Amino acid sequence: MAKTELNGKSLESWLWDAACSIRGAKEAAKYKDFILPLVFTKRLCDVFDDEINRIAKEVGGRAKAFKLVKRDKKLVRFYIPLEPATPEESVWSVVRKLADKIGEQLTDHLRAIAKENPKLEGIIDRVDFNATTHGQRDISDDRLSALIEQISLKRLGLNDVEPDIIGRSYEYLIRKFAEGSGQSAGEFYTPKEVGMIMAKIMEPEPGMEVYDPCCGSGGLLIKCQIVLDEQMDLRSRKNYAPLKIYGQEYIAMTWAMANMNMIIHDMEGVVEIGDTFKNPKFRVKNGMQTFDRVVANPMWNQDWFTEKDYDADEFGRFPKGAGFPGKSSADWGWAQHILASLNNKGRAAIVLDTGAAGRGSGSANTTKEKQVRQWFVDNDFIEGVIYLPENLFYNTTAPGIILFLNRKKPAARKNKIFLLNASREFEKGDPKNYITDEGIARIADTFKEWQEVEKFSRIIDKAEIVKNDYNISPSRYIHTAEGEEYRPIAEIVDDLKELETEIQVVEKKMKAMLAQLK
């Protein structure tokens, strides 16, 4: 535990202090694109120093070790081309001693590191620390110097912090940035407890291929590896194949964040950049590459895609009977992409808007979204649904659901769906609610065991789903409150929107009929 502390402060607190050193906690999130690459570079430099020290013991000193590594860069994982004033000084001291033109020199140093390490190209050399907007520096040399000094206070080498500790601390920093980023937060961060519930229920096994088509900062993928490591520790297995991790991300800076997050967790994976919906990068000759597990939290209710986008698909992702779910929400479009990305034994966990579970059900008019949901139910691809508590996510107070898909459900679970209403499984937090470790375990264990618990979980069969017009929301079947049925505000709002649409359709028909009568 001592490894994670600095002057009585945890590693997390130190990282947050470093972030706040620029312009206080309120402004810290704005500077995440500067802070995260610097913390990442500090880790690379300190680990490189550790590798130099290891080689120095064998060859008789750091000076010889530097020369040897310069000749054979394969001796280290990442070669850092910064040369300290003396061999005994740390590599990071080159950054710490910058005194003039700090932004310009720092940018040059990070670009030099990326040039020597193709894996880092586009990741740490993307930021210009000397950038200006309307003639004003985005981050002044004074503030940059203060940030560098704060980061310099803690060593992040192999003997100082374990990969999981620095990794979790880095995730903590990303979460803190999400708290201050408003609507944009959901683009790069899913609350830790939601990710852990998904990973535990997915039960990844050694060597499995795991994919996230909209991976943000990579947290859901990383949590799958963390859960696997925990399971192997419980089984006392020392040697096992790590997961093969794949992700795709649309936003360039978030893609860079995912790569940094993966490396700092000491994990390897392939993260591609681009629009997954229109241009999925993981392909095979006959269509989509398929995986053992998929975890995802796509942006909810995207209205970017038209019916033409679905029709133009060349990979068979949107089959006849499903396809276009309507312009207002691509939630079930993402579910179709993810289903197409599963192999014949694959399983998936997808975070979606609560409305995706019930919109259109009970409506006088058949909606496209309900038709797609019906297709998933009729083809028995839905394993279960978890209804989450309100106010967990950083870009909305809405509760959200986790939809679980399964390509090969066990015979005993055919044409059945497991529903779990976790709406009350939370603690009040600031600024967001959270689920405790005990709550995470209760939700995941209950789901994995398909255990029915009063006011918490139920197994429903297809006949009951059909009776309820293909509504698969747990809150429809599991009432957590005493007396009158409790319905979340988000669901009521969705129903009101549906009624409004129906009223407009009816009014249009009535006007047409009156016009004919006249």
Model pLDDT, residue 499: 64
User: Three-class SS string for 352-376?
Assistant: ECHHHHCCCCCCCCCCHHHHHHHHH
- H or E segment to which residue 211 belongs: strand 209-212
Give the C-alpha separation, 44 to 28, whole Å: 23
- For residue 482, the model assigns a pLDDT of 57
Instruction: Fill in the DSSP letter of residue 248.
Output: E
Rg (CA), the chain: 26
By mean pLDDT, which of 72-81, 286-295, 479-488 is the weakest? 479-488
- pLDDT exceeds 70 at position 193: yes
**Token representation of residue 34:** 């500067």
Task: Reply yes or no on whether the pLDDT at 498 is more than 80.
Answer: no
Q: How confident is the model over 25-43, as pLDDT tens digits? A: 667 778 888 988 999 999 9
Q: Which of 188, 160, 194 is nearest to 176 (CA)?
A: 188
Cβ atoms 252, 126 nearer than 8 A: yes
CA 298, 249, 227: angle at the middle one, nearest 5?
A: 70
Q: What percent of the chain has pLDDT over 90?
A: 73
Q: What is the CB-side half-sphere exposure of residue 71 using CA atoms within 13 A?
A: 5
Instruction: Delineate the domains of the chain, giving CATH numbers in brackets.
Output: 2-165 (1.20.1260), 181-492 (3.40.50.150)
Mean pLDDT of the chain, nearest integer: 90
SS3 223: helix
Asked if the model's pLDDT at residue 14 lies above 90, the reply is no
Greatest extent of the chain over all pairs of C-alpha atoms, in Å:
102
Of the CA atoms within 13 Å of residue 136, those in its CB half-sphere come to 2
Per-residue confidence (pLDDT) for residue 157, from 0 to 100: 93
Q: pLDDT of 88-114, one tens digit each?
A: 999 999 999 999 999 999 999 999 999
What pLDDT shows up at residue 204? 98
pTM: 0.88
Range scoring the smallest mean pLDDT among 229-238, 446-455, 502-511 = 502-511
* 455 conformational bin, left if phi > 0, alpha if psi -120 to 50, beta if neither: left
Contact by Cβ (8 Å): 267, 225: yes
pLDDT confidence of residue 493: 66
pLDDT in tens, 206-222: 999 999 999 999 999 99
